Amino acid sequence: MLSLTEPETGPETEPEIDGDELRPGTQIGEYELEALLGAGGFARVYRARHTTLGTPVAIKVLDRALALDPQTMVRFVREAQAATRISHPNVVRVLGFGRHGDGRAYQIMDLVEGLPLDQHIAAVGRLPVGEVLALLGGIVAGLDAAHAAGIIHRDLKPANILLARADGQLVPRLADFGIAKAIGGADDPRLTQTGATLGTPMYMSPEQALGRVITNASDVYALGVVAYELLTGRVPFAAESPFETMMMHVQSEPALVSATVPELGTAFDGVLCRMLDKEPTARPSLADAMRELRAASVAPGRAGRTRRTTLLAVLAGAILASGAAWWFLAAPRSPEPAPARTASPAALAPAPAPVPDPDLAPAPKPAAAPAAAPDADRRPAAPTAPPNRVVAPAPPQRRVAPAPASPAAADSLEVPSDYPP
């Protein structure tokens, strides 16, 4: 591979330029460009293939306007040097770099078939907790490998996290170490002037915003911002201007996750507040932060909220059921007919004929004088008694003689001649 100071020459390497974009078929070293994958603030990334081996790669090429800028060149070389010091599945490898015939520098990198994380968030919104933890685990592993190699990323954000697929799962891979800093090393004066800030305002730590010394804790802060965005679908700080956003990182406290997304509960509030602490020394390490995030996903605060939601749903169902039962019982309805009674055999038996009391029987009426017998031809038929009717005979009349009021009165009484002695 040629050095950055000696551009490639030869008619076979002349690029077909359309503005800053290189056309498909352009030769870059031993590779042939196939398609444009994306463009950033100072470079474009192409899909390419090795002309002999057929290996697919990604090639990042600086824009022509920046090819002769010393600071941009130093930054570009630093990115390649930093990435080559890190060997990890969650970090995009830089396979080589060089300079093209028109003076533009380029890097040859692993080809990651997938979208950047920022485009994934824009497409689906906030992610489920399980997916968030899986992505954060890979990001933390890549950052930990960079820190172990003595590199601070300093520009961690979703746009610099590429999502590959392996066994149906999204695998994050860190890219763009363009402003990475060696741990314990001083910034190159050609890259960073006094008081200058490097990074992206929405993901920048307070110490970066103030131009102060950065450490591994700066990457922990950026990781906290990314975790906050994955869980809620929004960043904790955003203003109309980059400067205002930077000052919010320095002066303002973020809204709690539980206030932004109440269904997540309060379990994530503590760990994210510690990761976003203004004081770098108060932030947890990468390992501790990941451990607390995993614990928060099953913490009582989050499980309790799930149980409360379930209980509320059960209570609401019970109230609805009670209301339906009350309505059913209180609704007017037609009276049901009384069941027919079956008479007992004793009730069905005929009542016995009453026995007349001789003392209480009324006196018989005197018989009327018989009428003259009518003509036999005109005499009506004698009425017949109704069947099954029993007529009790009239009792004989009892005649009681009145008692005399006194002996004298008795003597004065006249006894009828026909009165029996």
Q: Which of 64, 52, 51 is nearest to 22 (CA)?
A: 64
Place of tokens 């380029």: 106
Q: Which of 85, 111, 105, 75 is nearest to 1 (CA)?
A: 105
Tens of pLDDT, residues 226-240: 999 999 999 999 999
Please measure the distance between the N-terminal and C-terminal CA atoms of the chain and give it in whole angstroms: 178
Which residues, 6+ apart, have CB-to-CB distance to 228 below 8 Å? 234, 235, 236, 254, 257, 272, 276
| pLDDT at residue 258 is higher than 60 | yes
Q: Is 347 exposed, middle or buried (0-12, 13-18, 19+ CB in 10 A)?
A: exposed
Tens of pLDDT, residues 153-171: 888 999 999 999 888 889 9
- What pLDDT score was predicted for residue 350? 57
Over range 116-139, report the average pLDDT.
94
| pLDDT at residue 371 is higher than 70 | no
Q: Which helix (H) or strand (E) holds 181?
A: strand 181-182
Q: Which of 258, 289, 281, 292 is nearest to 156 (CA)?
A: 289
Cα 214 from Cα 280, distance rounded (Å) = 9
Q: Which residues of 36-73 are buried (b: 16+ CB within 10 A; e: fewer)?
A: ebeeeeebbbbbbbeeeeeeebbbbbbbeebbeeeebb
Q: Which range (24-38, 149-163, 246-260, 371-385) has the least confidence? A: 371-385
37: DSSP letter: E
- What pLDDT score was predicted for residue 354? 57
Which residues, 6+ apart, have CB-to-CB distance to 365 below 8 Å? none
- What pLDDT score was predicted for residue 312? 55
- Cβ(283)–Cβ(217) below 8 Å: yes
Place of tokens 């396979």: 95
Which residues, 6+ apart, have CB-to-CB distance to 165 below 8 Å? 113, 114, 171
Q: Which range (13-17, 106-110, 313-317, 416-420) has the least confidence? A: 13-17
CA 79 to chain centre: 41
Over range 92-101, report the average pLDDT.
86
Cα 107 from Cα 62, distance rounded (Å) = 9
Q: Which of 236, 336, 241, 306 is nearest to 277 (CA)?
A: 236
Q: What is the mean pLDDT of the chain?
A: 75
Question: What percentage of residues in the chain have a pLDDT greater than 70?
Answer: 61
Number of C-beta neighbours around residue 399 at 10 A: 5
Which residues, 6+ apart, have CB-to-CB distance to 56 below 8 Å? 47, 48, 49, 111
Domains for the chain: give ranges and CATH numbers. Answer: 1-111 (3.30.200.20), 114-314 (1.10.510.10)
Q: Which residues of 96-117 are buried (b: 16+ CB within 10 A; e: fewer)?
A: bbbbbbeebbbbbbbbbebbbb
Do the bridges between strand 17-18 and strand 21-22 make them parallel or antiparallel, or are there none, so unpaired?
A: antiparallel
At 163 the three-state DSSP class reads strand
- What pLDDT score was predicted for residue 4? 46
- What pLDDT score was predicted for residue 342? 52
Cα 207 from Cα 241, distance rounded (Å) = 19
288 given a catalytic annotation = no
Cα 232 from Cα 254, distance rounded (Å) = 12
Tens of pLDDT, residues 59-72: 998 887 777 778 77
Q: Which helix (H) or strand (E) holds 99?
A: strand 94-99
Catalytic residue among 63, 110, 144, 155: 155
| pLDDT at residue 17 is higher than 50 | no
Question: What percentage of residues in the chain have a pLDDT greater than 90?
Answer: 41
- Cβ(147)–Cβ(216) below 8 Å: yes
35 falls in which pLDDT band (50, 70, 90)? very high
- What pLDDT score was predicted for residue 352? 57
More confident residue, 126 or 393: 126
Residues forming beta bridges with residue 174, ordered by sequence position: 91, 161
